[in-house]
Amino acid sequence: MAVFLLLAGLMGAPPESDQEIWDSFIRWLQAQPPNSHPGELFAAYRADETRRGVSQDVVNHRMAVISDFFQTRRKGTEILWDKVFAGSDPIFKETPTALVVSAAENRRPGAALDVGMGQGRNSVYLAARGWDVTGFDPSAQAVRIAQSNAEKAGVRIHAVVARDDEFDYGADRWDMIVVTYVKDLTINDARIFWRALKPGGVVVYVNGADSDNAVLKAFLGFRIVRFEDVETNADWNPGRKTREQRLIAEKD
């Protein structure tokens, strides 16, 4: 035993697994106070690690593992966004997204789905215009706020706690699917949305611009009603200019 400990000491600590990296980040995240700025939470973790003497290479590796795990782990997404929505300094507009307003303008109200609805500003807007709205979000805190905002506005919405990869979109069900500031949509999302939309239904999408137009390419099987790539003050972090892409794509 003594020999083993001596050898382990000489060789350094055994390499940590990706799961260990993730678990330790989640423990850290759970202990953090609410913070309206998700970017600040990641920066604080990085700073804590550096302060504890972890080398920059190891910190970079850990951050990359954490970023990958966020793509598939509901728990992390929920804890992170619960912290953000419990924060006292919201960094988002409470008015609806201009693209959603314009997409709804010339359409007869029908069934709408709001993916990653957040505090429900677009859901509430559509419901107030007569749409039958379902919204979902992995953050229970976000869903609570969305429901309360709907009540305050005197409208009803169906609000569900779920991630995009666990929600059942169904078939021929929606006249509009809204995805604003949630994720870059993929070709797999385009396939799911095509099946889920009724004929004539639209996807209304806004997010930070990707460099190779991957979202536009993913939706080329749809009728592209509108596509823009603009430098603008986005609805999230409206204080600074960013490049964003906006898409309205119709199942024709």
Ligand X SMILES: C[S@@+](CC[C@H](N)C(=O)[O-])C[C@H]1O[C@@H](n2cnc3c(N)ncnc32)[C@H](O)[C@@H]1O
Name the residue whose CB lies closest to ligand X. 118
Question: How near is the Cβ of 38 to ligand X at its closest, in Å?
Answer: 8
Kindly state the smallest distance separating residue 190's Cβ from ligand X, in Å: 16
- Residue ranges in the chain assigned as alpha helix (H): 2-11, 18-30, 38-51, 56-70, 74-86, 98-105, 121-128, 140-153, 187-196, 214-218
d(CA 252, CA 245): 22
Number of H helices, E strands in the chain: 10, 7
Q: Which of 21, 99 has the CB closer to ligand X?
A: 99
Is the separation of the CB atoms in 188 and 217 below 8 Å? Answer: no
Strands across the sheet with 241-250, in order? 158-161, 132-137, 111-115, 174-180, 197-208, 241-250, 223-233
Nearer to ligand X, 132 or 184 (CB): 184
For ligand X, give the closer residue by CB, 151 or 252.
151
Amino acid identity, residue 87? G
- φ, ψ for residue 20, nearest 5 deg: -65, -40
Distance in Å, CB of 199 to ligand X, minimum? 25
Nearer to ligand X, 49 or 122 (CB): 122
Residue 242: CB minimum distance to ligand X, A: 12
**Cβ count near 218 (within 10 Å):** 21
> Shortest gap between Cβ of 120 and ligand X (angstroms)?
8
The residue ranges that bind ligand X (CB under 6 A) are 77, 81, 92, 97, 115-118, 121, 137-139, 142, 163-164, 180-182, 235-236
Instruction: Name the phi and psi angles at 35, rounded to 5.
Output: -150, 120
* Least distance between ligand X and beta carbon 252 (Å): 25
- CB of 208 closer than 8 Å to CB of 153: no
Question: With respect to ligand X, which residue has the nearer C-beta, 49 or 164?
Answer: 164
The residue among 87 and 138 lying less far from ligand X, judged by its C-beta, is 138
Whose CA is closest to 149, among 111, 121, 113? 121
Q: How far is the CB of 220 from ligand X (least distance, A)?
A: 24
| Closer by beta carbon to ligand X, 49 or else 155 | 155
Backbone angles phi, psi at 206, to 5 degrees: -140, 135
